[in-house]
Structure 1
């Protein structure tokens, strides 16, 4: 006869199947008495599992939906399916679910046996061939390691490739893992540089927890401000060259507050706009806000960003 804990887990696994189990069936499966089955059912209810009991010759026990989410037991193939789904949500899913997807994937990955983690990585590599845009090409395994270290307040060693392509070893204390403008960033205290830094997750490789406890803390309200300030300072800027399908006077009125050192000039029935220097994100927003048809002559980065917006949102 199995011990009480093992028996409870077996009972829970049976109840999670989509059927009603009679007391006799459960007693036979568990090799216990009907009284023990009833006592174990009561223990599961005390732990938060909503279990209904129907009386009568055709009655039995079944697990039903409750008001909260109790722990679940998953078979190997079920755990792999859930992990693959969470990887997809985390890296190329809905923006409002990306952070939740990473947290759930981190919890699941920490409990998976090594053989299942290997299968998830192998299948994930084969299945996730399409990305929503270059900004999101980040390894889910990197995200789960960083998220776990952040939650556990653990120092991390990792390799990081900077904008010039140079790779260096970093020893950091993770503070927050966050999405800004469709990119994952790690905000962390760099121990070797004795300062706060932010790292693009798609440029991080081979992160590993050291077991040492992180001590540096940045108030939550300062994390996003730090990241946005650093991004503005380092983001590449471009000058858009666009033909707007707007009469010159109307285009000048719409661009008046955003022209800066840019230039506009009549071009046939439309207007040629050569913008001031700014990020592709701002230039794309400015173009879309004009609410007119347009042709982008350059730069290529702006065309690619607009194509990504078109693919992500379905805008015409």
Structure 2
């Protein structure tokens, strides 16, 4: 009976992936006969799981959308995945840590004893790695507006905010009037949420920090556009004007690098800012717990850098160069 229940849960897990499965594929994945697969599908249907059948050469089985919620069932691997995911959820949204903890408690209460023991056996503590350059958590309401607009293909009217979340005055240098964007993708990189959107006024693709935007959804719909390049991740990482701000560190400095902005943007750590100067150079501003830490990061680009600011950073670079110089060998 236990083996049968575990097999049925595995079948439900495969069907729950959202794709259509042929009878032969299910039998191969579960290592059982096609007759047993049909019997297990009948068992799931008796439990009110809406499994649909498509006949013909391209036919198969698919789990439909239930009108009522069936019993919450996970197999062993799913229970383990849920326990890990909820305990390691990043704190990029206000209140997400508390919500994840409450969700874990709720799931444990409705789990069968064996699966509950699996989830409780994996209790862990997540420590912060200071090289993650975490950004302040964002308001879930902003993420909801952006996510709904992406899913429904609705044009957004957005305003760019100051780093502290306030609106700049019209006479300020950083002020930008409200503009209309087609939101296409949400991206999380270096613990920051970004919106990949098409600016209807500029007729260009942009990458914007969600926590730097005040957004209002409209009823105007748009058609999907071709992506700005084959690799969305590379586009986000190589865009230098993402609305990023310098992370708060004990030391913050900058330098002019003899590399294009799109190259430095891709490899610069999260929490740094890249400013385009010309086709061959850019300015990188970043922080670390020491001036030597900033000097070490600058050295990883393997390019000439000048205009070091402040003087403490220039001094740290000289000291680092001295330490890395080989000692004179005298016999």
Q: Where on the TM-score scale, by shorter chain, does this alignment land: which range?
A: 0.3 to 0.5
Using structure 1 for the length normalisation, give the TM-score.
Answer: 0.38
Using structure 2 for the length normalisation, give the TM-score.
Answer: 0.37
Q: Which has the higher helix share?
A: 1
